[in-house]
Structure 1
Amino acid sequence: MTARTHLQRAIGLLAAVVVISLLVGSLLGQPILLGYVATGSMEPTMAAGDGFIAVPSAVSGDVEVGDVVVYDARELHDGGLTTHRVVDETEEGYVTAGDANPFTDQDGDEPPVSDAQIVATALQVNGEVVTIPHLGTVVMTAQDVVGTVYEDVSSILGLTTTVDSDGIGAMFVAVGIAMFGFGILLDRFGPAGRQTTRSRRRENVVGFWVALGLVLLVLVTFATAAMVIPSGTTEYGIVSTDSPTDDPQVLAPGESAELTRTIDNAGYVPVVVVYETGSETAAVDPSWQTVGVRSTAEATVSLTAPHETGQYTRHVEEHRYLAVLPPSLLVSLHAIHPLAAIAAVNAVVVGGVVVLVIALFGTADFRLRSAGDHVSLSKRLERKLRKWL
């Protein structure tokens, strides 16, 4: 294989990573590896339409003043994602602002930003954000083109539904899948080119490690989804007032109240649930617990009203891990980093499946046998019936 071929494959792989990152980010509503700014609020750091490398909050570490973060705003942009710089940190959260803005987001209606709201941090090298010029312009132009085409087709067909950014992202994925399928069909049934090299591929044989790798990919994907998707952050509002009520979340300054939190495990594997609050005025008892197969459990959330009157928000983060390791070990790994616990669970899943498959099937390649084209359909059905009966 020549150096040119290696370079072409590397470029193709990089392009695929870029496209997949943008598509998945569009569908999930948060940047995955890549993000972009749509306005000029971050000039001169990033111009409108510039892209940047987005480091997910799960691996970016603690947020510090000076970091450029992507957070899920409450009021700005109708509650959408906002990319601004952290300019200060208070007890209530982070103060953010666009580099081009003479005021902070919190000077308006946006409350202080909590860690739970931050979905990613822009990669910085020597204090400078790593930007990708015009990446966002290309993406937004493609979205506009798809939106225009959709509206034209809708008017012709008489459709009344509208398309949003999530719908456009889904359409991109659908088009990509269709193109991929068309490519496979063209390669399989299209006009054959002249074969200049001898193929070493064995017909109807699937390599053992290829098959095992595909199985592991599916299992690890489902295992990770089972841990990540049910996890999340719950908001608890507190009103600190001189006129408290019977509502446990409307309290006198310094007063505490308790709420019951129910945890449901609808899966067939026990899970270890770890809670984090990030605030001294909120706590969960127990701080972690094991929930059995298809069962529920309860935890107590304690909220304390600040001494200053006003409305406040407290967050309880919930992290779930499949209990394939001792719960105390998973909690210790979580304390290092949530990804450490997820990686340990996936390692156990991979190791267990590899041992089981090798024990049952060995390491020989799988041969897929099929009847020849000369055997009639009726004869094949007759053979099947004999085998079953």
Structure 2
Amino acid sequence: MTARAFLERGVTVVIALIVVALLVGQLLGQPILLGYVATGSMEPTMSAGDGFVAIPSVVSGEVEEGDVVVYDARELHDGGLTTHRVVEVTDEGYVTAGDANPFTDQDGPEPLVSDGQIVATAWQPGGEVVTIPHLGTVVMGIQAIATTTIDAVSGVFGLTTAADSDGVGALLVGVGVALLGFGFLLEGFGPSRRETSRRRKRENVIGFWVAVGLVLLVLTTFATAAMVIPTGTTEYGIVSTESPTDDPQVIAPGETSDLTRTSDNAGYVPVVTVYEAESAGVDIDPGWQTVGIRSSAETTVSLTAPESTGEYTRHVGEYRYLAVLPPSILVFLHGVHPLLAIAAVNGVVVGAAVVVMIALFGTGDFRLRNAGADVPLRTRLERKLRKWR
């Protein structure tokens, strides 16, 4: 491969990663690797429409004063994602503000931001946010065009459902998959190109490790999805008041109330569920448990009301891992980092799949027998039609 071809392939891979990151982020409702700001509240650090490198909260580490974070707001932007800077760290949460704003978010109706609300942190090497000028402008432009097109087509066909951001994101992913499939069809059945070099690839033969790679890709994708998708943060609202009621979430200052939390496992593999308190005044017992096949388990969440009266939110994080390793090992790995536990589970899945495939098929290549492959497609179709007559 020439240096130019290598460079072109590298650029293609980078562009593909950018597109995938933006689309996945659109579908999940949070930035994945790349994010952007839609307003000028972060000027001069970031102008409206600028993009930035977003580090997911699961790998960004502890949030500190001065960090620019993306958090799931309760009141701002109608409860949408907000990208602002942490200006103060308190025991109850974080005080945030836009660089261009003369007031903090908490000067308004927005409560203190908890760790459970933070979905990503902007990459700030040397304390400066790395920005990608106009990335958000391009993305919002494409989204606006797609939304307008969908609405116009919906009007023609009499559909009344308006396009939302999730629907547009799903549409873009679908278009991408369709184009990819079209590319494969064009490659397989399109105009043939003149061969200028001798072919060394054996026809109708799939290399053993290629087949293993495809199987592992499917298995690890589903295994990772089974662990990542159920992972999330649950919000509990509590009221600290001098007039408590029978409601376990309306309690006296300094008092503790217990709630029961149920974890369901609808799959056919046992899972280890780990709980984490993601805000102050929360305790979970037990902190982790094994949930059997198509079963459920309960844990107790204890909420302690602050000494000051008022309304507060508490957050509990839940993490799941396929129980292919002893639970104590998975809990230990989770304590080091959740991604390490996921990697360990995928490692076991990969190892087991390779052993099974070698035991069943050996290490030889797979030969696909396709009688009449040298016969043109048109001729084969005509023969099929004659048989049906």
- TM-score (structure 1 length as normaliser): 0.94
Distance 1:26 1:241 in 2: 40
Distance in 1 between residues matched to 2:344 and 2:74, nearest whole Å: 35
Separation in 1, partners of 2:179, 2:227: 32
Equivalent residue number for residue 118 of structure 2: 118
Give distance in 1, aligned partners of 2:304 and 2:47: 43
Q: Separation in 1 of the partners of 2:278 and 2:153?
A: 50
SS of 2:48's equivalent in the other structure is coil
Whether the 8 Å CA contact 2:116–2:279 is kept in 1: the answer is no
The code of the aligned residue for 1:63 comes to V
Deviation at 1:313, TM superposition (A): 1.1
- 8 Å Cα contact 2:114-2:278 kept in structure 1: no
In the alignment, which residue of structure 2 is the partner of 1:229? 229
SS of residue in 1 equivalent to 2:275: strand
8 Å Cα contact 2:248/2:258 also seen in 1 = yes
- In structure 2, the partner of 1:106 is 106
Distance in 2 separating the partners of 1:279 and 1:140: 34
Compute the displacement of 1:345 (Å): 0.7
The reply on whether 1:172 has 2:200 as its aligned counterpart is: no
Whole-Å Cα distance in 2 between the matches of residues 265 and 150 of structure 1?
37
- Secondary structure, aligned partner of 2:213: helix
SS of equivalent to 2:66: coil
Q: How does 1:87-236 map to 2 (within 5 A)?
A: 87-236=87-236
Per the TM alignment, residue 317 of structure 1 is displaced from its structure 2 partner at its CA by 0.9
Instruction: Confirm whether residue 318 of structure 1 aligns to residue 314 of structure 2.
Output: no
Asked if 1:368 is matched to 2:368, the reply is yes
Using the TM superposition, give the Cα deviation of residue 359 of structure 1 relative to its aligned residue in structure 2, in angstroms. Answer: 1.6
1:334-382 alpha-carbon deviations (Å, 9 max, x no partner): 111111111111111111111111121111111111222679769x99x
Task: Provide the C-alpha distance between the structure 2 equivalents of 1:320 and 1:115, rounded to a whole number of angstroms.
Answer: 19
Is 1:327 matched up with 2:338?
Answer: no
- Larger deviation, residues 21-30 vs 303-312: 303-312
Kindly state the Cα deviation for residue 166 of structure 1 after the two structures are TM-superposed: 1.2
- 2: CA distance, partners of 1:367 / 1:300: 56
Amino acid at match of 1:117: Q
- Matching residue of 1:300: 300
Report the secondary structure of 1:129's partner residue: coil
In terms of mean alpha carbon deviation, does 304-313 or 145-154 score higher? 145-154
Q: Deviations over 1:259-300 (max 9, x none)?
A: 111111111111111111144521111111111111111111
Regions of 4+ moved over 3 Å: 373-378
**Equivalent position SS for 1:55:** strand
Equivalent position of 1:345 in the other structure: 345
Structure 1: distance between partners of 2:216 and 2:133:
38
Q: Confirm or deny that 1:12 pairs with 2:47.
A: no
| CA deviations over 1:198-243 (Å, ceiling 9, x no partner) | 2222111111111111111111111111111112111111111111
Deviation at 1:154, TM superposition (A): 2.6
| Residues in 1 aligned to 2:280 and 2:186: alpha-carbon distance in whole angstroms | 62
Secondary structure, counterpart of 2:308 in structure 1? coil
Matches of 1:139 and 1:10, distance apart in 2: 22
Between the aligned partners of 1:74 and 1:281, the Cα distance in structure 2 is 20
| Partner Cα separation in structure 1 for residue 178 and residue 298 of structure 2 | 46
Matched residues, number: 381
Identity %: 72
1:270 partner amino acid: P
Q: TM-score, normalised by structure 2?
A: 0.94
Closer/same/farther in 2, CA of residues 188 and 268 from structure 1, 3 Å limit: same
Pick which of 120-129 and 179-188 moved more: 179-188
- C-alpha distance in structure 1 between counterparts of 2:280 and 2:32, whole Å: 32
1:140-198 Cα offsets, whole Å, 9 max, x none, are 11111122222322333332221111111112112212221222222222222222122
- Secondary structure class of the residue paired with 1:126: helix
1:93-128 Cα shifts (integer Å, max 9, x gaps):
111111111111111111111111111111111111
1: CA distance between counterparts of 2:105 and 2:363? 60
Question: CA offset at residue 85 of structure 1?
Answer: 0.6
1:25 aligns with 2:25: yes
Alignment partner, residue 242 of structure 1: 242
Measured at CA, do residues 98 and 223 of structure 1 come closer, stay the same or move farther in structure 2, by a change above 3 Å? same
Aligned partner of 2:281 in structure 1 is 281
Over residues 238-258 of structure 1, what are the superposed CA-to-partner deviations in whole Å (9 max), with x where a residue is unaligned? 111111111111111112221
* Unaligned 5+ runs, structure 2: none
Corresponding position of 1:385: none
Q: Which residue of 2 aligns with 1:386?
A: none
Q: Secondary structure of 2:246's partner?
A: coil
C-alpha RMSD over aligned residues? 1.8
Task: Provide the rounded CA distance (Å) in 2 between the counterparts of 1:280 and 1:142.
Answer: 41
Question: Equivalent residue of 2:230, what SS?
Answer: coil
Q: Distance in 1 between matches of 2:262 and 2:159?
A: 43
Query: What is the deviation of 1:42?
Result: 0.6
Secondary structure of 1:166 counterpart: helix
